[in-house]
Amino acid sequence: MANLASFDITSGVDLQEVDNAVNQARKEVAQRYDFKGSRASIDFDRGENNLTLTADDDFKMTALWEILQTRLVRRGVPTKNLTPGDLERAANDTVRRVIALQQGIPTEAAKEIVKFMKDHKLKRVQAAIQADQVRVSSASKDELQEAMRLLREHDFGVSLQFGNYRG
């Protein structure tokens, strides 16, 4: 029997880079004239994997969100893995938005990836869901390269990373 080559498809954000981006965004907010005297803040909760933005009004919330997104992109954090919640009213006439950080591939996206692989009928390529990642295996390394190319071209709603390649 031929040796199987495989790789894992994962999705996630580097929490240290998120922390760095949040710190940079806080510094920018502190220096910007349009935020002088306002109650704008960005809180990062590593344990809950979420960010909480608080601002005086909808306009400042939009500006705060844009500042944070810019910093995250510059730090290489995939914004596809950020799920912004709805604006909610908070204390003292402020607005709040909780942004969830997606760690791992959601079940729906994993099923979509497996279905996508089957629909493209790549010979001798199997995809299997393993917790919050997908393992793709094949006897042919060329088929695995083709699978990676196809997956990169398709949008599954989350940022995909390929790793743990075993040849």
Domain end among 51, 66, 101 = 101
Domain end among 84, 101, 118 = 101
Q: What is the 3-state secondary structure (H, E, C) of the chain?
A: CCCCEEEEEECCCCHHHHHHHHHHHHHHHHHCHHHCCCCCEEEEECCCCEEEEEECCHHHHHHHHHHHHHHHHHCCCCHHHEEECCCEEEHHHEEEEEEEECCCCCHHHHHHHHHHHHHCCCCCEEEEEECCEEEEEECCHHHHHHHHHHHHHCCCCCCCEEEEEEC
Q: Do 44 and 31 fall within a single domain? A: yes
Q: Do 21 and 95 fall within a single domain? A: yes
Q: Which domain holds residue 73?
A: 15-101
Per-position pLDDT tens, the chain of length 167: 457 889 999 999 999 999 999 999 999 999 999 889 888 999 999 999 999 999 999 999 999 999 999 999 999 999 999 999 999 988 888 899 999 999 999 899 999 999 998 888 877 888 999 988 999 999 888 888 999 999 999 998 889 999 888 87
* pTM, full prediction: 0.83
* Domain count across the chain: 2
Q: Do 96 and 19 fall within a single domain? A: yes
Q: Do 28 and 92 fall within a single domain? A: yes
Q: Do 28 and 45 fall within a single domain? A: yes
Q: What is the CATH number of the domain that holds 134?
A: 3.30.70.860
Given this model, what pLDDT does residue 1 score? 44
